[in-house]
Homo-oligomer: A and B are copies of this chain.
Amino acid sequence: MKKIAVITSGGDAPGMNACVRAIVITAWQHDIQVIGFRHGFRGIVDDLNQPLHPDDMRLVSQRGGTFLKSSRYPEFREVESAQRAAAVLDKHQIDALIVIGGDGSFQGAHHLAKYWSGQVIGVPGTIDNDLAGTDTTIGFATAVDTAMEAIDRVRETAEAMARVFLIEVMGRHAGFIGLHAAIASSAESMLLPELEPQPKIAEIADNILRARASFPDSSYVVVVSENLWPGGVAELAKSLSKATGVTCHPCPLGHIQRGGRPNAQDRILAMQLGHAGVLALLDGKSEIMIGKEQEHVVEVPLALTFKRDKPLDPRLVDLQLGLQGVNFTSKKGAETA
């Protein structure tokens, strides 16, 4: 193995830079050269290549985003795109490709592997944590911290004004950020896609009213996953305001959740997985994802990562549902009980 390529693909995630650093350093230590393509699969197709040397990796881990740049590139589903990418990779005499990304990016990698003879390895880099085969993904821990800190801020206003806030967090179609942010921010309630059946407006409204009765002078925070409620938290707020008679304030956190310097957990995870990815290539592996399960680095068939659904940790769901529950018992009520 003489030369490998690396891309960051899909939504950017904090820690992607640390992953590239570990890949480049580890590769060079095994006398393998590394080329990056900017903007993910689009950059392979358009040959936006950039040689990557350990010297340039000294201080990239500290930075958010991805210096290799990324893109969403649905066109890559086409056969022709994969064939062009394969041709570009061959032109550069690339022996293997490491794709740092999520669900869609791994489908792209899987697709490419049908038309290219080199080894293809995935490293999970997405804030959404919606990839089976790994307990966590690069960027998830930082995104949860960012969402939590934002909710902490909103909580201060909510508490000062004794308000109800509906805070929308990211997660595509999964509730990982929602669940973790709800626990970490001591949310009074959470609405996640995995919690079936979804509660009805009347039920949520009832919980709010009971909490307001016990704590009339306090805040009430509902963490809501994006893509869950039709019309988002803006519509949900209207319905709940009507149902409760209490103004419910919508607060979508938006794109701030993606940015920011990676926290230590994400930097370390990213370097571990990037390092292991190069070793797996040297070992001849292909069409796998390097993940982490139960504190161990694992190799998982690439196709399984996006074909299986990844469930929320039921112990964490139960924990939050339990901690939420007590809030409806006022001190007074508890004492007379």
Name A's B-contacting residues (CB within 8 A): 8, 11-12, 18, 21-22, 25-26, 28-29, 38-39, 53-56, 58-59, 61-66, 69-72, 135, 141, 144-146, 148-150, 152-157, 159-162, 165, 180-181, 183-186, 215, 217-218, 249, 251-256, 258-261, 263-265, 267-268, 271-272, 275, 293-297, 315-316, 319, 322-323, 325-327, 329-331, 334
B159–A334 touching, CB < 8 Å: no
Q: List 26 A-B contacts (CB under 8 A).
A: A18-B186, A21-B186, A29-B325, A54-B334, A55-B334, A58-B327, A59-B159, A59-B186, A64-B153, A64-B156, A65-B160, A71-B162, A72-B161, A135-B295, A144-B264, A154-B258, A154-B259, A155-B259, A157-B259, A180-B264, A181-B264, A184-B264, A256-B256, A263-B263, A294-B295, A294-B296
Q: A178 → chain B, closest Cβ, in Å?
A: 12
Using CB atoms, name the residue of chain B closest to A62: B152
Chain B residues near A152 (CB, 8 Å)?
Answer: 62, 259, 261
Min CB–CB distance A290 → chain B (angstroms): 13
CA distance A62 to B258 in the complex (A): 17
How far is B328's CA from A28's CA once the two chains are assembled, in angstroms? 12
Q: Are B165 and A25 in contact (CB under 8 A)?
A: no
The answer on a CB contact under 8 Å between B12 and A160 is: yes
**Chain B residues, Cβ within 8 Å of A334:** 28, 53-55
* Stoichiometry (number of copies): 4
Q: Which residues of B contact A316 (CB under 8 A)?
A: 268, 272
- Give complex CA distance A183, B269 in Å: 10
B251 touches A255 (CB 8 A): yes
What separation, in Å, do the CA atoms of A69 and B160 have in the docked complex?
Answer: 4
Residue of B nearest to A329 (CB): B54
Which residues of chain B come closer than 8 Å to A156, judged between CB atoms? 12, 63-65, 258-260
Partner of A264 from B11, B65, B148 at Cβ < 8 Å: B148
CB neighbours of A144 from chain B (8 A): 264-265
Give chain B residues whose Cβ lies under 8 Å from the Cβ of A155: 59, 62, 259
Q: Which residues of B contact A261 (CB under 8 A)?
A: 149, 152
Residue of A54, A56, A218, A264 with highest tally of chain B CB at under 10 A: A264
- Rounded to whole Å, the gap between the CB of A158 and the closest CB of chain B is 8
Residues of B with C-beta under 8 A to A150: 256
- A99: min CB distance to chain B, Å: 15
Instruction: Select which of B165, B275, B297, B322 is within 8 A of A26 by beta carbon.
Output: B322
| Inter-chain contacts of A63 with B (CB < 8 A) | 156
**A55 CB contacts on chain B under 8 angstroms:** 215, 330-331, 334
A62 to B62 CA separation, bound complex (whole angstroms) = 14
Query: Nearest CB to that of A272 among chain B residues?
Result: B319
Contact A256 B154 (CB under 8 A): yes
- Could you say which of B18, B260, B264 contacts A153, with CB atoms under 8 Å apart? B260
Tell me, in angstroms, the Cα distance from A256 to B294 when the chains sit together. Answer: 31
Question: What 5 pairs between A and B have smallest CB-CB spacing?
Answer: A153-B259, A65-B156, A184-B264, A294-B294, A12-B160
Cα A154 to Cα B293 with chains together (Å) = 31
